[in-house]
Structure 1
């Protein structure tokens, strides 16, 4: 039987990598999108002057995006460190983080929210008003895609994660499968050799002399 066959038959052989990739891709997509411009607002000073464009980023429109994405990444690391019911519970938390990111993105990607955010950091007078708002829908859509990927990863961990081995499972299996002769001798065997008058550090040739 090949190593690839063992991995396919092992519990979570394909599910664990798929879960990790989905979570990393989803959280990464949200972080990237949060740092991009989601809307361009043209503010008028109210005195007949020309409107000035103000770029507003996703992190300003939806401040919760970055903390939620980082929390999802931390939770995914905890998924692989945990076992059993605890792992399923953490997967359920990731399931909730996905919809929370989607709701934050949808609330932030509106013309009204963009106008408010632009007016907050505008150098114009308090009479400044939004003359026009142009929303770049590609980045909110990318955020929703990242939220969907996190939701899928969380569902996979919550439903199937209880069957996956822990991080040290393969090392424990390797140690159990190792031949007894390959394992290091303990202190007890050294004392037994000394009681017999043997030198435990001597090779076979030295003992026959």
Structure 2
């Protein structure tokens, strides 16, 4: 006699496995969304101007006349940001297409990309880095003096994106092998199809012999 909560029937383990598979599927697609969002945040922030520049007195121009120099974008201050974010997006796709140990490797590479993006974000606005970029690229156009302010929102957004990339990479390296691969569904489908074909063939063979298959 079994109790009302007995799950020892044939469908119990199957339902448990099916529920576990759905849970892993949700985890996988949540990971995809958050990691891809992190890459997109870095890409978007890299297109924004990260500093504002205020000109002083241009050399040789009395009264301080002259336009302020153009402010560089995050991608100009840190040229590695865009390639790292694109590499992260490619890593998301690669993680979907791979499984097992290969997914751990992809996760490790994603982590490296996120760490690189975070470090590049910090170095881009640290110390006198903006002034060095302006001088190196001759953006001052003869200005005698100038000052700048960091537009904090864009480096912060890039840092957040980098943090999501790192978290996604670590999660893929640790839990990625448990997630199903894109090819798993297609690998299982033919097996079921072959069983159905075999059953149909057995049915027709029985009819040909004059047996009643029912």
Same fold (TM over 0.5): yes
Which range moves more in the overlay, 64-73 or 78-87?
A: 78-87
Deviates more, 1:48-57 or 1:94-103: 48-57
Indicate conservation of the 8 Å contact 2:134/2:140, yes or no: no
Q: What is the match of residue 42 of structure 2?
A: 30
Secondary structure, aligned partner of 1:46: coil
| Matching residue within 122, 125, 130 for 2:139 | 122
- Write the distance in 1 (CA, Å) between the matches of 2:149 and 2:106: 39
Q: How does 1:6-17 map to 2 (within 5 A)?
A: 8-10=19-21, 12-17=24-29
Task: State the alpha-carbon separation in 1 of the partners of residues 145 and 87 from structure 2.
Answer: 34
Runs of 5+ in structure 2 lacking a partner?
Answer: 1-10, 202-214
CA change 1:175–1:101 in 2 (3 A) is same
| Distance in 2, Cα, partners of 1:7 & 1:42 | 62
Q: Which runs of 5+ in 1 are unaligned?
A: 187-209
Query: Aligned partners of 1:7 and 1:52: how far apart in 2?
Result: 66
- Equivalent-residue separation in structure 2 for 1:81 and 1:165 (angstroms): 10
Give, in whole Å, the separation in 1 of the partners of 2:33 and 2:17.
21
Q: CA deviation at 1:121?
A: 4.2
Alignment pair present for 1:140 and 2:152? no
Q: What is the CA deviation profile of residues 145-187 of structure 1, one whole-angstrom value per residue up to 9, with x for unaligned ones?
A: 001111111111100111122211012223333473457x99x
TM-score relative to the length of structure 1: 0.77
Superposed, 1:57-72 pairs within 5 Å as 57-72=73-88
CA distance in 1, matches of 2:18, 2:67: 59
Instruction: State the distance in 2 between where 1:89 and 1:161 align.
Output: 10
Match of 1:165 in 2: 180
Per residue, is there more strand in 1 or in 2?
A: 1
Could you tell me how far apart the structure 1 residues matched to 2:18 and 2:50 are? 43
Could you say which residue in structure 1 is the equivalent of 2:4? Answer: none
**Distance of 1:104 and 1:77 partners within structure 2:** 24
Number of residues of Structure 1 aligned to a counterpart in Structure 2: 184
Aligned residue for 1:195?
none
